[in-house]
Amino acid sequence: MRKTPGRVPEAAPSAREARPRAIGPYSVRVRRAALVTGVLMAAAACGGGGGGSSATPTPTTPATTPATTPPATSPTASPTRPVPPPSPTTTRPTTAQPASCVDRTYAAMTPAQRVGQLFMTAVSSTGMTSAEASALSRGRVGSVFLKGHTTAGTAAVKAITDKVRALATRVPGSSLGLLISTDQEGGQVQVLNGPGFSSIPAATTQGTWSTAVLQRNAATWASQLRAAGVNMNLAPVADTVPPDLVSVNAPIGQLDREYGTSPGPVATHSTAFLRGMRQSGVVATAKHFPGLGRVRGNTDFSAGVTDDTTTRTDPFLQPFRSAVQAGVPFVMVSSAIYTRIDPAHQAAFSPAVIGLLRGSLGFNGVVISDDLGQAVAVADHTPAQRAVDFIAAGGNVVLTVIPSDIAPMTSAVLSRMSASASFRNAVSDSVHRVLTAKSNAGVLTCG
């Protein structure tokens, strides 16, 4: 996310788990009929077709297996008259399935707790301040990121993340933790340094390695993050900078953040990086959709940053498509304007841009914003407007580098929920996506 050296960003569809249908009375009655009618009715029983659950079980919900022991023969059935099976349209499940952990957690949360899951704000990598702690606890914030470079090493960072983790929202019946993130790309964008952390080379160097070597190294870097209590990385960069723009592209090219100057190598290497993160249990984030490789200005410091080239079918979307196909759980959307996709809105506030990610690319995970706090690109919106407009456009997690933004942002979201059914639905969808991502990452469990 960071587009400036030495600074962090200031600032599956998450569907509810599918549940297998319980075996209904249809199968039992067919078996009874077959036993009663004997040999003469065997053909009719076979011709009725086997009834069984067609639902596909999810990893968290085991499939139900029908009993193999035949039930007792009905004492009232006639041995000479077959008992016809009931119409499939009348079949009803006999047993209600338990709600998923995500659904149970959602149901047990207050509206304020649900909204808090849609926000990420900053904690200093050198020590959490009282203002930061207050913003996290009062806002029921679900995610944080560590900002500002530190050279203190793994143990010092772990002491901070332990304190942060203690502020996680308490939900009855669930263990709901925080996603604690940072910018650990490498080169000029590596927040955590010192004993226990490797010195990570820039993406321009990583792009010269084989994908196997990169994935193996990324897994090592991710294990170092885990040792420090960090379970999410706002990386990799999936932006492609054309050769003729490298020297003038402020957010990516000038900081050596690109894996290559054509979409193919960027796709293979950014995907190898995210796979390495996942291998060691760190949530990866592909950024900055639909790409900052063809702009000149840095949205952290410039207003009106515009891309007049990228289209809905652009080859430069390939790295993001590759990340989605590899199962990346988070995608960060940029704050630039893409005139050939939606000239009227910045990407973070554009239903067309986020719809492109959901539709054409098939992304079902969590859409997170770039910084909507201190970035100059969004300064013409109030903090409240930024949060509401991002969620209304289809975004899921609002990232702000300014902890004091959390109060007006969450208040605005709660207020809009009370006035708009469609917005309430958008919030519900977003919360389910976030809880699903946390469940997949082991940050949400149920007893």
Taking 50 as the threshold, does the pLDDT of residue 3 lie above it?
yes
Q: Is the CB of residue 245 less than 8 Å from the CB of residue 305?
A: no
**From the CB of residue 76, how many other CB atoms can be counted at a distance below 10 Å?**
7
Average pLDDT along the chain? 85
First to last CA, the chain: 35
Neighbouring-strand partners of residue 200: none
Tell me the one-letter amino acid at 235: A
Query: Count H helices, E strands: the chain?
Result: 14, 15
Give the three-class secondary structure for 432.
Answer: helix
- Which residue reads 């995210």 in tokens? 274
Listed ranges 20-29, 53-62, 243-252; the one with the highest mean pLDDT:
243-252
Mean pLDDT calculated for residue range 143-161 = 98
**Could you give the domains of the chain?**
25-90 (no CATH), 101-446 (3.20.20.300)
pLDDT-derived band at 2 (thresholds 50, 70, 90) equals: low
Taking 50 as the threshold, does the pLDDT of residue 64 lie above it?
no
Q: Is the CB of residue 409 less than 8 Å from the CB of residue 400?
A: yes
Mean pLDDT calculated for residue range 393-399 = 98
Give the pLDDT of residue 117.
Answer: 98
Which residue blocks in 147-293 are alpha helix, DSSP H?
A: 154-165, 203-206, 211-227, 263-279
The DSSP result for 8-50, as a single string, is -------PPPP-PPPP-HHHHHHHHHHHHHGGGGHHHHHHT--
Give the pLDDT of residue 99.
Answer: 81
Give the pLDDT of residue 97.
Answer: 59
Give the rounded percent of residues in the chain with a pLDDT score beyond 70.
Answer: 78
Give the pLDDT of residue 61.
Answer: 37
pLDDT tens digit string along 70-109? 333 333 333 334 444 444 333 344 445 568 999 999 999 9
The pTM assigned to this predicted structure is 0.80
Taking 80 as the threshold, does the pLDDT of residue 247 lie above it?
yes
What is the torsional sign of CA 184, 392, 299, 291? positive
Taking 3-state DSSP, the helix, strand and coil percentages for the chain, each rounded to the nearest 5, stand at 40, 15, 45
